[in-house]
Structure 1
């Protein structure tokens, strides 16, 4: 099953904003467990994309926000693994 068509829905502005929000949640808000960060990014991405397209909210806008929010968590993990020094992950 090829899911590459989902990349057409990624909004780079939403992805960048969610990446920043996720970083702040991960590093500053210790009372939020890591398992909830993807859910928070999904909701944030959906909300941000809906506000950006306020007059024209449809299923594609909702999907774009969801995909962009979730992609931000994957991008964070990829960047963390690339920048990982000595094979030790920081928590």
Structure 2
């Protein structure tokens, strides 16, 4: 009788390798654009209070509309939502 094999492991979600120190002025493309906003640039890295804690938030600006949004920088690592650079 053949040995049973465990079921295959589902692949891990795709990730964009990222360092918070290199975020400022980086360019990003939204995989699913909303309000005709596809291309974004990181205009500000929100400095934490107190300064000894880790960076958590960044501000992105839509190139098309100039609308800004603040989100956790780790959200940019989700390749299903964001792509590095302007595609």
TM-score clears 0.5: no
- TM-score normalised by the chain length of structure 1: 0.23
Structure having the higher Rg: 2
- TM-score normalised by the chain length of structure 2: 0.23
Q: Larger % of helix: which?
A: 1
